[in-house]
Amino acid sequence: MTEPPRLPHLTPLATILPPLLLGTATFNTQYVDNPAAMPYRGIVRRALVDLGVTGFDTSPYYGPSESLLGEALEATGVDRDRYFLETKAGRVFGNGFDYSRTAVQASVRRSLERLRTSYVDLVYAHDAEFMSPAEVVTAVRALRELRAEGILRYVGISGFPVDVLASLAEQILAETGEPVDAVLSYGHCTVQNAGLLGDPVARLHRAGVAVVLNASLLNMGLLTTRGVDNGPQAVWHPSPPALRDVSAVAARVCQEDPLPASLGMKGIEQVALRYALDVWAREAATAKVATTALSGASIGSSVLGVTSVAELDETMLEWWSVLDGLGVEHGSLERLQASTGIGSEPDGPAKKEAGVARTEAVKKFVEERLWPVFGSFKDFAWASPEEGWVNELKPAETNEAKS
């Protein structure tokens, strides 16, 4: 296969993008009742200082997320060049989008203030499927103008329907002569939906996309023990009732089957995280849209959010086990053990063997016990935008992105 065209950057994105980023959509009322009361400072400090997580993802659409993240990062005292920071632009509120040049650039400048930084590493045109291809190209050009000013380094697009993301990446390359640097896909490499794999990710590679990131491994809270009917997500989550029902059944299977408990997994959250982290780490490498920032190994990059330090610790243990199974040296578990006493690490070849065994056990459990539960909803994806959707924000209007 002919390699896709790439325009040289000072540093190739794939060599510096971390394979794991902390997503901060959870620093928002869409996930918690009072984001300011959640332990966001402790989560960020724990991630960056104690556990070596050097990537952070946010958006102005996530309510106070940018401001909370900026405050927390500044409080760590870690130099700005020691971590990778990405945000988004274009989505102002739920049904309000403005991809005009003026609004997109004003949004990024405001993000710098909220994040307390002079630059961001990567900015996405947020939820690009809601806009026309022409509007997306306009937003990408606007972001590239800011790149020339040095206040951002890389430009991407994000969204839900993977075929639309691939088409947009192809059009951006065709119209501008330059590929988009990154694509962030969410909810399409999970235990319930593998829609990102295969042809979509191959199309993104052919369109010159350097790195594809997999986000929302729990599908915005759908794949959790609590589900999305018993919290803030109940009022906005786009999943149909029938999918919520089968996801609840899958969660019960994870609680009742002895295998997750025997692996020390507390529920569907850990099963789903482990499965998706491992699958994308491997599949992105095969598709040549992975990062090589960790030890030079080719690893698919994932974005995931937490609401507590305990959730972060549990997630990192799974992530490091994935790396063990891939034979990637990370030396990270010692930091967690030193600070909490959590976890144990086998020596030498046994470390990789343990990681591989855990990967195989989880994969077998998902395929044999969870996929039958999902049935016809396996690989189901709701329409985004839904039929009849109308943008409530006109580019000519004065709006938050221009304030």
Structure-token match 């065709």, residue found:
174
Catalytic residue, candidates 31, 40, 61, 62: 62
Alpha helices in 133-240 (DSSP H): 133-149, 162-176, 199-206
Q: How far apart are CA 103 and CA 125, in angstroms?
A: 12
Q: How far apart are CA 306 and CA 316, in angstroms?
A: 11
Q: Tokens representing 51? A: 């556990």
The amino acid occupying position 305 is G
Q: What is the DSSP string of 131-142?
A: S-HHHHHHHHHH
- Using left for φ > 0, alpha for ψ between -120 and 50, and beta otherwise, residue 296 falls in left
Q: Quick one: how far is CA 11 from the chain centroid?
A: 22
Q: What are phi and psi of 240, to 5 degrees?
A: -70, 160
Q: How far apart are CA 321 and CA 325, in angstroms?
A: 6
Q: Cα separations (Å) of 359 from 94, 161, 244, 281, 324?
A: 37, 28, 26, 12, 10
Q: Tokens representing 175? A: 């119209």
Residues 6+ positions from 112 with CB-CB distance below 8 Å: 118, 119, 120, 151
Handedness of CA 346, 352, 357, 360 (dihedral sign): positive
Preceding peptide of 238 cis, ω within 30°: no
Q: How far apart are CA 107 and CA 45, in angstroms?
A: 26
Distance in angstroms between the alpha carbons of the first and the last residue of the chain: 47
Q: What are phi and psi of 293, to 5 degrees?
A: -70, -20
At 325, is the secondary structure helix, strand, or coil?
helix
How big is the CA angle at 293 (ends 66 and 359), to the nearest 5 degrees?
95
DSSP secondary structure letter of residue 8: -
Reply yes or no on whether 154 is catalytic: no
Catalytically annotated residues:
62
